[in-house]
Amino acid sequence: MRKLRKKYFLGLVWGIILLLAVVRCFKSPMPEKASEDSSGESDSVCLPVTDTPVLADSSCDRPSGAGRYLEKRTYAPPRFKNAAGVPLRSRIYSVPSFQECFSDLQDIQIIAARKWGVSPVADRQEAERRKKELVYVGSNPFYTMDEGMTRSIPYLVPQAAELLQRIGRNFLDSLAVKGIPLHTLIVTSVLRTEEDVRKLRRYNVNATERSCHRYGTTFDISYNRYTTVSPPQGPERRAVRNDSLKWVLSEVLRDLRASGHCYVKHEVKQGCYHITVR
């Protein structure tokens, strides 16, 4: 009798265990499928949003030909507030080394300048006759033209003008995300005529007769001077250290360079980034 009761008890225990295992299998969460739009294709961009930026690649390797600048690309829209409406604050990362990350020399940039630019302009008079090939670039909410710019004229090819606008816009977006008072970039050099290059070489040892600026594809942005953005009516906003602004600008240029939009050279003596559209 005792043996029968023991056998019956063990059978009941194993039956309960088996039942619980079956119930657990049926209630286990199934992996969700990737969200799809009405066309059946998954989203092309899916980036996490956190209090600190998530970088896809922090290396400074030379871009391996990511295509022409006007190629269609998809970008994740920036988020400035979390679900509770609290502004997000991101850290400033800068880059490991300005010299290593922005090391595109003349021999590389000149190839892109000749490919996408106009033929060199002899002087200011000829530049007036060739305005159909170029786009005027003047001070606007995204950047300021340097008042002391006398050896170049404010014209670029359309691709370079669009790139300059994007750099200025991305810079302001980054400042807003990081909670830094807004500043705009200062453009120190754009299109140079052959006459401008000859005059510049008399006192600038870095100037070359094969300058990329002759093709309207290249411009210089100062990294140690910025314009503080203040309300028209109200107290002036506090100025931010130029080093901090340079770190933010370096992040913007690193991302655009890595995605194949431009070549960038960190100019030490001139205090600027020398940029050519790709």
Domain residue extents for the chain:
98-277
pTM of the model: 0.69
Task: For 91-144, write each residue's pLDDT tens digit.
Answer: 888 999 999 999 999 999 999 999 999 999 999 899 888 888 999 999 999 999
114 CB burial (10 A radius; 0-12, 13-18, 19+): middle
Task: For 157-212, write each residue's pLDDT tens digit.
Answer: 999 999 999 999 999 999 999 989 999 999 999 999 999 888 887 776 666 778 99
- Listed as own residue / partner, the contacts of 92-97 with beta carbons closer than 8 Å and 24 or more positions apart are 92/178, 92/244, 92/247, 92/248, 92/251, 93/53, 93/55, 93/58, 93/247, 93/251, 94/246, 94/247, 94/248, 94/250, 94/251, 95/60, 95/247, 95/250, 95/251, 95/254, 96/58, 96/60, 97/60
Q: Parallel, antiparallel, or unpaired: how do β-strands 183-189 and 143-145 relate?
A: parallel
Classify 98-277 by CATH class: alpha beta
